[in-house]
Structure 1
Amino acid sequence: MKLGADLRAFETRIGHRFSDPALVVRAVTHSSISSATRDDNQRLEFLGDRVLGLVMADALLRADPGASEGQLAPRFNALVRKETCAEIAREIDVGAVLKLGRSEMLSGGRRKQALLGDALEAVIAAVYRDAGYDAAEALILRLWGSRIDTVEVDARDPKTALQEWAQARGLTPPVYREVGRSGPDHAPVFTIRAELDNGGVAEAQAGSKRQAEQTAAAQLLAEMEQQP
């Protein structure tokens, strides 16, 4: 199989030339365009998620030999969660090479967090299948780069951190309310308000409710921690 110029350029961006080009084609093929003769990337995504987890767990252990499991777990979650994968996928422009069905293309599939994150994990699995564990590990360490060394010691997600902050002060858990929605159906923007029963409030917007909640929680926690 001969790759097109777009996938050859993608190989350059990730630093891996495939011996079996069919693997990278499968890795960027979404189920919306799969067929009896064209496999999608779901099985590779399943494998890539596990390869990523193993590489990242090992990298964290080596980066901080004295860390406890309780310290490592939130760092691990921060590095492998879908948001991080999608962020890295954008950095190497996975969206430009995604093979999508017409409906996904029209709904902005090349920018969707879930599709980008899944495709990156599928690419990791494709490299693993193509050249083995060492190549996949090198790819992951190269793409994640300084994130591994600079991941926050306390890498709890903002909603968890805000809830723990509230409980430590005898407050009830924060409440998240959808107070607005704009944009077209295929690319909505949600406005979420985070509220504490001490009167603290913060609002944030994002393309998913989950991300808007996380951002609002982070903003509210920052405000609360600045108060005397």
Structure 2
Amino acid sequence: MKRSAEITALEERLGHRFDTPDRLRRALTHSSMSSPGREDNQRLEFLGDRVLGLVMAEALLGSDRHASEGLLAPRFNALVRKETCAEVAREIDLGAALKLGRSEMMSGGRRKMALLGDAMEAVIAAVYLDAGFDTAKAMILRLWGNRIAQVEEDARDPKTSLQEWAQARGMPPPAYVEVGRTGPDHAPVFTIEARLANGETAQATAGAKRKAEQHAAAALLAKLGGD
């Protein structure tokens, strides 16, 4: 079947030319445009989610060979969540190629996070079916760019590290409670207490609430001694 200019342009942005362009067309077809002769992308979305998950799991295991499952899980979730898929979709202007019904189009469907995330997963599945796992993996790693390295960097945030510490031990996430506030409204100073479900706590003070939370998390981690 003949390629449209729209499909050709998207293939260039994806870095993959389809042997069967209809796979890409189906991946771009929202349920609002489905009909007896036109399948939507929901089944492809289901498959693409699994392909993406395997690629990211492999990448994380390879990038940190000593991390426990409890440390890897939140990093994995950050890389495969719908919001991240939608971010990638926006970067390659996937929304411009979506096949939407009139109501979805009028309501801004090309910009909706859920639609973009679903379509990105469907496109991953289409590439996998068209050319195999290795090709899909190469595309995913290229499109996700430095996000894998960035999620490792984010993990060094004391709040993230404390959450991972708690998660690895079956605890709920830490709580951050404002226990004091001084100074004028235009320049407040916050005292925050980081609390774990096991009763461990630590406090810190800073001129910004987030900074105080980070300092409190760091203090609690130091108190725990890396246990």
TM-score, length-normalised on structure 2?
0.72
Distance 1:54 1:4, change over 3 A: same
Based on CA coordinates, which of the two structures has the bigger radius of gyration?
A: 2
Q: Which amino acid aligns with 2:133?
A: Y
- 3-state DSSP of counterpart to 1:164: coil
Q: 2:156, 2:70 → 1: CA distance?
A: 10
Query: Where does structure 1 lack aligned partners over 5 or more consecutive residues?
Result: 172-197, 201-219
Q: 1:50, 1:32 → 2: CA distance?
A: 24
Q: 2:119, 2:134 → 1: CA distance?
A: 20
CA contact (8 A) 1:75 1:154 kept: no
CA contact (8 A) 1:74 1:154 kept: no
Query: Where does structure 2 lack aligned partners over 5 or more consecutive residues?
Result: 165-171, 180-189, 193-207, 217-227
> 1:166 aligned to 2:175?
yes
CA contact (8 A) 2:28 2:99 kept: yes
- In structure 1, what is the equivalent of residue 137 of structure 2? 137
CA contact (8 A) 1:47 1:125 kept: yes
**Root-mean-square deviation (Å):** 2.7
Q: Which amino acid aligns with 2:12?
A: T
Q: 2:6, 2:209 → 1: CA distance?
A: 43
Q: 1:221, 1:57 → 2: CA distance?
A: 34
CA contact (8 A) 1:71 1:154 kept: no
Q: How far off is 1:122 after superposition?
A: 0.2
Percent identity, please.
64
Q: Which runs of 4+ in 1 moved over 6 A?
A: none
Distance 1:150 1:223, change over 3 A: closer
Q: Which amino acid aligns with 2:155?
A: V
CA contact (8 A) 1:83 1:113 kept: yes
Q: How far off is 1:153 after superposition?
A: 1.8
- In structure 2, what is the equivalent of residue 26 of structure 1? 26
TM-score, length-normalised on structure 1?
0.72
Q: How many residues align?
A: 179
- In structure 2, what is the equivalent of residue 205 of structure 1? none
Distance 1:226 1:133, change over 3 A: closer
- In structure 1, what is the equivalent of residue 122 of structure 2? 122
> 1:225 aligned to 2:217?
no
- In structure 1, what is the equivalent of residue 40 of structure 2? 40
- 3-state DSSP of counterpart to 2:175: helix
CA contact (8 A) 2:191 2:212 kept: no
User: How do 1:65-144 residues align onto structure 2 when only pairs under 5 Å count?
Assistant: 65-144=65-144
Distance 1:27 1:150, change over 3 A: same
Q: How far off is 1:57 after superposition?
A: 0.1
